[in-house]
Chain A
Amino acid sequence: MTSEEIVEKVKAGLADAIQDAVLPQGDAVIFVAPDCLQKVAAFLKDDPSLKFDYLSDIRGVDYLNEERDPRFEAVYQLYSIDHQHSIRVRVGIDEENPSVPTVSELWKGALYPEQELFDMFGIHIEGHPKNERLIMPKEWVGHPLRKDYPLTTETVTFSYNRDFKSELVKSKPPTR
């Protein structure tokens, strides 16, 4: 199916669940609210003419600088192996208690990217078997890919290097 047909089909099948459907640069993109996500995902996977059986990727985006409401967005890239077409599902997520339901029951491949979404953006995944950090260390504070998380250097926790500077001071002959 072409992107136009996909958008038409989704609009017809899920008129009440999707917020908007657009075609930027020829890609099919739909906007969905978090509470409708699981319903939309199940429809996209099960409908025989759409049959999006392959989850390509899930990414988070923080639109803090754009002053957009809602602030966060989770973007699901789906592909159909049989029909060779793709769709992008964009889910806006509020800044207060950011949370989105899991789709890992439909696509097992969603487990890791969803966990990364929590790690990097602090978006809680409802129903995910492991709501914990994936890439960052377990004791890490903050969510690095948020726009209000500064890009700085990491402080060195401990070092085995000798403190040459203090030794230099010590070895210096006393001045008169």
Chain B
Amino acid sequence: MSVTEQGLLERDKDTMTLNMGPQHPSTHGVFRVILEMDGEVVKTAEPEIGYLHTGIEKNCENKRYVHVIPMTDRLDYLNPPGNNLAFCLSTEKLLGIEIPERANALRVIMCELSRIASHLVWLGTHALDIGAMTVFLYCWREREMILDLNEEVSGVRMMTSYIRVGGVAKDATRPWLDGIRDFLDYFPAKVDEYERLLTRNPIWLDRTEGIGVFTREEAINWSLSGPALRASGVNWDIRKSQPYSGYDNYSFDVPIQTNGDIYDRYRVRVEEMRQSRAIIKQAMERLPGGDYKTPDNKVSLPARETLHTSMEALIHHFKLVSEGISVPKGETYVPIEGARGEVGFYIVSDGTNVPYRVKLRAPSFMAIPGMCKAMEGCYIADVVGIIGSIDIVMGEVDR
């Protein structure tokens, strides 16, 4: 008779509750997960969120449309232009205005640059979690260059608020465009360098292959999106399926992998960086001339020099600054492909200059329950790998 049969050792109850976070560096913010451990194996993982809740959605209901844009920067703080764009597209759909071609191209350049920057942060920290220190330093080096470019065009390194309702905040400058050209020439070799460090590294493969697996059906059912969904073999990129800002004019590939494990999510994101570079290159080559924001002065400020000569411009300027944009009554939702997946703002307008309700569809928020489900049955050491591979940003989870 074995020890278990005698009831001397009740293995089922021999578990340990382990608290991870909210201050754990590998939880990428203030994410807390309570793990029920059986030895080294995770039995259940219970997520706990809300530590970074700042009431942004409630605040948005008390701010004018223009004032909401800087708040959207702070939601997904690694990809601020994506959030700006999602909010502006929803507002513009309600307003029913057309955006000039140049503004669209500038938006695409900005969003793709920030997608690269966001993936660099992800790759650096994810590799650091698993134990590869050098990649982190390399990724930070390239990200600094993108932040410098952000500063050149918008004056701010991270929270750019560059994309505004009706276009963009400022026109492209010569040093910015030159800087992007230099970066595009410099960057591909660096992606190859990261891949040389990781892609066929046996330690990296051991830690990532076959861990945290989502099948195609599971990934869809758990509402994963973006690179995490595409690593499970789902061919869905909003830039292709529901094109916005002229993405249908660019030729680029959507990287797909089929195993749905940590390694495939890594492969998808690294390839996405290359594709983003290709999109920026095309946008730079055919950057159209013309306005960088809509000429409709009910939405965007008139040019500074016209204020001295045109009474109408002066009135528009005064009304826009003192009252803001009035958006027609209605409700709408425009999804975009952010760095982490589907981002979109559901906006309800009551016809005034203040949104009645603003709701962010945050890819990280939607992915958390599925992510914790994937932890069950894994070793404790893989928990940080799974969190890193889904790439959560707590700013948009807690809002």
Interface string of A31-57 (1 = CB under 8 A from B): 000000000000000000000011111
Does B368 lie within 8 Å of A135, measured CB to CB? no
Does A81 lie within 8 Å of B220, measured CB to CB? yes
Residues of chain B whose beta carbon lies under 8 Å from any beta carbon of chain A: 49-50, 53, 55, 57-59, 61-62, 93-94, 96, 220-224, 234, 236, 241-242, 330-333, 335, 342, 344, 346, 348, 350, 356-357, 359, 361, 365-366, 368-370, 373, 398-399
Q: Using Cβ atoms and an 8 Å threshold, which residues of chain A touch B398?
A: 135
Q: Check if A134 is an interface residue, CB within 8 A of chain B.
A: yes
Does A75 lie within 8 Å of B346, measured CB to CB? yes
Q: Check if A174 is an interface residue, CB within 8 A of chain B.
A: no
Q: Using Cβ atoms and an 8 Å threshold, which residues of chain A touch B61?
A: 151
Smallest CB gap from B221: residue in A = A108
Q: Using Cβ atoms and an 8 Å threshold, which residues of chain A touch B359?
A: 57, 59
Q: Using Cβ atoms and an 8 Å threshold, which residues of chain A touch B369?
A: 108-109, 111-112
Judged by DSSP, the binding face of B is mixed
Does B346 lie within 8 Å of A54, measured CB to CB? no
> What's the Cα separation between A112 and B50 when bound, in Å?
12
Smallest CB gap from B57: residue in A = A145
- B370 contacts which of A84, A108, A145 (Cβ < 8 Å)? A108
The number of A-B residue pairs with CB atoms under 8 Å apart is 96
- Chain B nearest CB: distance from A3 CB in Å? 12
> What's the Cα separation between A111 and B228 when bound, in Å?
19
Q: Check if A131 is an interface residue, CB within 8 A of chain B.
A: no
Q: Using Cβ atoms and an 8 Å threshold, which residues of chain A touch B332?
A: 24-25, 27
Judged by DSSP, the binding face of A is mixed
Are A109 and B223 CB-contacts (below 8 A) given A134-B50, A136-B53, A137-B50?
Answer: yes
Does B220 lie within 8 Å of A56, measured CB to CB? no
23 contacts between A and B (CB under 8 A): A24-B330, A25-B96, A25-B332, A53-B220, A56-B335, A57-B361, A75-B346, A84-B242, A86-B335, A88-B333, A107-B223, A108-B369, A109-B222, A109-B224, A109-B366, A109-B369, A110-B223, A112-B368, A112-B369, A135-B49, A135-B50, A145-B57, A151-B58
> What's the Cα separation between A110 and B330 when bound, in Å?
25
> What's the Cα separation between A108 and B223 when bound, in Å?
7
Q: Check if A65 is an interface residue, CB within 8 A of chain B.
A: yes
Q: Using Cβ atoms and an 8 Å threshold, which residues of chain A touch B350?
A: 65-66
> What's the Cα separation between A55 and B365 when bound, in Å?
13
> What's the Cα separation between A158 and B342 when bound, in Å?
40
Does B236 lie within 8 Å of A61, measured CB to CB? no
> What's the Cα separation between A57 and B366 when bound, in Å?
8
Does A61 lie within 8 Å of B366, measured CB to CB? no
Q: Check if A77 is an interface residue, CB within 8 A of chain B.
A: yes
> What's the Cα separation between A86 and B335 when bound, in Å?
11
Q: Using Cβ atoms and an 8 Å threshold, which residues of chain B touch A70?
A: none
Does B366 lie within 8 Å of A113, measured CB to CB? yes
Does A144 lie within 8 Å of B49, measured CB to CB? no
> What's the Cα separation between A149 and B94 when bound, in Å?
27
- Chain B nearest CB: distance from A86 CB in Å? 8
Q: Using Cβ atoms and an 8 Å threshold, which residues of chain B touch A77?
A: 333, 346, 361
Q: Using Cβ atoms and an 8 Å threshold, which residues of chain B touch A55?
A: 223
Does A136 lie within 8 Å of B223, measured CB to CB? no
Does A54 lie within 8 Å of B335, measured CB to CB? no
- Chain B nearest CB: distance from A52 CB in Å? 11
Q: Using Cβ atoms and an 8 Å threshold, which residues of chain B touch A151?
A: 55, 58-59, 61-62
Smallest CB gap from B362: residue in A = A57
Does B361 lie within 8 Å of A56, measured CB to CB? yes
> What's the Cα separation between A61 and B333 when bound, in Å?
14
> What's the Cα separation between A24 and B334 when bound, in Å?
13
Q: Using Cβ atoms and an 8 Å threshold, which residues of chain B touch A25?
A: 93-94, 96, 330, 332
> What's the Cα separation between A70 and B333 when bound, in Å?
22
Q: Using Cβ atoms and an 8 Å threshold, which residues of chain A touch B96?
A: 25
Q: Using Cβ atoms and an 8 Å threshold, which residues of chain A touch B333?
A: 27, 57, 77, 88
Q: Using Cβ atoms and an 8 Å threshold, which residues of chain A touch B361?
A: 56-57, 77
Q: Using Cβ atoms and an 8 Å threshold, which residues of chain B touch A66?
A: 350, 356
> What's the Cα separation between A100 and B373 when bound, in Å?
25
> What's the Cα separation between A62 and B57 when bound, in Å?
13
